[in-house]
Chain A
């Protein structure tokens, strides 16, 4: 097999056994790799009803066929498991260098099964794979854990680790790699913690063999050219990072403020990518083989130079908590990286707690011992509560369950701005109807990267759609969701899709793997993956009534700003979406659809 390493590492933590298996080539053809193929393995190997923290759940760390090759942004890996936050299938995706190193060691995928009797880490050096004692690492922050393992295995070794949040089963804990890159969402870090696995070290010396070296060279060169010449990937993202979106989203009046109570703020520019570039930015950071380099490195007030916040983080801790202070946001981001927390869900959960406080559900005496306020706008609060969530301390222990369970515990679940219990990201769907449909139907719950319709509804890529209209949005949602499933499965970064189209991905896949995908068959693989994830969720007990949005977004019009007066019209969109998907009117995939997709 070209592109693929062709091998899976299956590690049973209960029995402490390590097996190397051949990759299922037939499944790879149908589900590509990465997100798709790992979802197939998970679907076949676990009961979707399994309790996420039980040893019967599995944690799959997977690369795609293009990971570790010369393909631009080909450094992605994904973590696939049943989520403890949503109860749905989780696939969290990260860049950095770990994924490419794992591939270079000769593995497409690691399947972690069971539960280790005591803390362990996994050391992979090509064919030498060991389960090692991690007692000395347990409890340590991500940076120190990474440093200690690099001291032992050398600087070339790449480290994936959880922080204390994952160990303590914080439901919004991330899997971290290369210090500050995150497979952030859906609590995948807590599943790793539940298995008593602190870290994975990878060091590889094998290359990835490709079908036709000259062809790969030519195709890669032509795609890099497209990415470099595109104004989004060649100019905007390199210059300002993802936070370039702060002003544009705010000027459209869809920048959620104070837990989605408003959607516009006159203070946005204080936390914008433009301001970051002028103030705290020290340098830019590129992941493996990335010509875009959207990563930021920033200097905190105390002098620490650390990974900077992404757009979503600038929003979740910034406007969503009404803190217009880039230093405080960057510090909160830093502690998320250290404790191993998802910055979207953590910031959004703090914002939900602030609204619970504002509305009188949480009283002063309850938080007196914590020594922190829960007032919107308090920069110390966003940093302090992040650390308390990471430690499960005081009220942080309740917040560690995520915003839905927190708000439910106070009898106010409607104050959680989440879908399928996962916190929504940084775009108010009331002013972007298609994007809201994607929120409601995303297989991993509230999420912007399962079909980033902002691209069409705001940026006009690949074409401009009327953001307030529901017309044609069901069809667009399906195409974006299916294409995203393809990109995630290849092992490339979604940001390439601002410049590249389906045909480009077909070219890259076929050049590397020697396959004969067409645009039609590759996109069909994406559709197959999307439907398989849906089937997992249905079997897990997540029925289609959960394809919805928070009540506030369906019933309360945006109160002010450029999108004033609109609500999300989900009920106009959902029936059409089910129809376009080939699902019945209740949202279940029809027999004929599954047959057509060969599921």
Chain B
């Protein structure tokens, strides 16, 4: 299973957390498509807390966090 966590404006009209069944080859791009999140809305795509490419295959058990552009402080 792959756990996907959404934040900030990406939560609007979606669940905060969504689980995906793992299959070999599943990647970030597939997940964005399923969640109807346009790529340009994604500023940060983390897999287990590290920056990750959308095209790289994921592993079973990965935790993904997706953020729109954010700043503050």
Contact = CB atoms under 8 A, between A and B. Distances in A.
Tell whether A pairs with B. Answer: yes
A246 to B, nearest CB: 9
A455 B71 contact: yes
B73 A448 contact: yes
Interface string A240-262: 11111101100111000000000
Q: Which 8 A-B pairs have the closest CB atoms?
A: A562-B49, A242-B72, A231-B69, A251-B65, A232-B71, A498-B71, A245-B72, A236-B70
Contact of A252 (B5, B16, B46, B72): B46
Contact of A241 (B5, B46, B69, B72): B72
Nearest to A498: B71
Contact of B72 (A231, A235, A244, A269): A244
A459 interface: yes
B8 interface: yes
Nearest to A245: B72
Given A252-B49, A253-B49, A562-B48, A311 B8 contact: no
Contacts of A274: 7-8, 11
Nearest to B49: A562
A449 B49 contact: no
A243 B8 CA distance: 10
B54 interface: no
B71 A237 contact: yes
Interface in A215-250: 230-233, 235-237, 239-245, 247-248
B40 to A, nearest CB: 9
A203 to B, nearest CB: 32
Interface string B46-65: 10111100000000000001
A452 B73 contact: yes
A561 B65 CA distance: 13
B69 A232 contact: yes
Interface residues of A, number: 44
Nearest to B50: A562
B5 A251 contact: yes
B73 A562 contact: no
Nearest to A426: B73
Interface in A69-115: none
B33 to A, nearest CB: 21
Contacts of B16: 269
Interface of A: 230-233, 235-237, 239-245, 247-248, 251-253, 264, 269, 272-274, 294, 311-312, 425, 448-449, 452, 454-455, 458-461, 464, 494-495, 498, 561-563
Contacts of B71: 232-233, 236-237, 245, 454-455, 459, 461, 495, 498
B1 interface: no
B73 A454 contact: yes
A176 B8 CA distance: 30
- Which label, helix, strand, loop or mixed, suits the secondary structure of the A interface? helix
Contacts of A242: 72-73
B37 interface: no
Given A460-B43, A562-B46, A248 B70 contact: yes
Measured as residues with beta carbon below 8 angstroms from the partner, the interface class of chain B is 20 to 34
B64 to A, nearest CB: 10
Nearest to B17: A269
Contacts of A312: 73
A498 B72 CA distance: 9
Contacts of B72: 236-237, 241-245, 273, 294, 311, 495
Interface string B1-12: 000010111010
Contacts of A240: 8
Nearest to A464: B51
B53 to A, nearest CB: 12
A251 B48 CA distance: 8
B22 interface: no
B26 interface: no
Nearest to A427: B73
27 contacts: A231-B69, A232-B70, A235-B9, A239-B9, A242-B72, A245-B72, A245-B73, A247-B8, A248-B44, A248-B70, A251-B7, A251-B67, A252-B46, A269-B16, A273-B8, A273-B72, A274-B7, A311-B72, A312-B73, A425-B73, A449-B73, A455-B71, A459-B43, A461-B71, A464-B51, A494-B73, A562-B46
A159 B53 CA distance: 51
B52 to A, nearest CB: 12
Nearest to B43: A460
A566 to B, nearest CB: 11
